[in-house]
Amino acid sequence: MGNASAQPEAEHMGLASRLYNFFLGSPAKAAASLRAQTRWTDWLIPLFVTFLVTAASGKLTQDIVYSEVKQRLQSSTKLTEEQIQTALDRMEEQRAKWSSPGRQALGYLLSFAVIVAVTAIVAGAVLFITNVILGGEARFGQALALASWGSWLVHMSSGGGTTLIGLFPGIVKTPLILAKGSTDVTTSLAVLWSGSKAAFLYHLLGKIDIFNIWLLAVMTIGVATLAKANTKKTAYWVVGLWSIVAILSAFLSSLLLKMQGVS
């Protein structure tokens, strides 16, 4: 391909070596090894680690999240006292309902399914950029493995709770949440914001996070290597697509909080 960056020689690597190189060594070498040979362990084991970290973080911080959701409901300006009490009673019922071993097992199964689904969607985006935009010839298994590796740098939350948290954000953020007794822990530019937590700009700044920057860097190199394409051109597409998703996510998060009466 014209304007392609110099590609590293494909080396035979085990999964541990690939993961080390992807995050801390040479992402290009890791992706080149993946391009040469992809195994089912390349995507399943990293995803299972993400699931374990998500489950552990959720279990450890569940009381803090529950307390914050209650406080947010009680301070809502959009609900009457009767509506607030009804919502609180429903929360208590649901919490008791999902506390049984069977329900917890189902919850973990659903959590793993969500993580796999989200990763598969990301893999589809990786495949689109790699093959359609950049003219590469990657297979879905390669894109899925790359997206699975990237999951170790992702932190997705919903309603204050954790939907997905990767290995590295989990190691950093979970102890901080427990020490602070609050989920208001950030490694992003949102730390500079002093206004409303429901503001769109607050949530947008929250996307400019050290782990997201790390993720964009390694995914750009990984996609460029899979496609045998120019890294700069790849960065335009990877960062551009991520920016669209980040803006939409920030808008929806802000809108949801405003609808709940959070000021």
pLDDT at 68: 87
Higher pLDDT, 192 or 69: 192
Question: Given pLDDT bands bounded at 50, 70 and 90, which one contains residue 71?
Answer: confident
92-126 residues labelled b (16+ CB within 10 A) or e (exposed): eeeeeeeeeeeeeeeebeebbeebbebbbebbebb
pLDDT at 2: 44
Calpha distance 233→250 (Å, rounded): 26
Residue 175: other Cβ atoms inside 10 A: 13
pLDDT at 197: 86
Query: What percent of the chain clears pLDDT 70, i.e. is strictly above it?
Result: 93
Model confidence over 208-230: pLDDT tens digits? 999 999 999 999 999 999 999 99
Calpha distance 254→142 (Å, rounded): 35
Evaluate if residue 1 carries a pLDDT over 90.
Answer: no
Model confidence over 230-247: pLDDT tens digits? 999 999 999 999 999 999
pLDDT at 159: 59
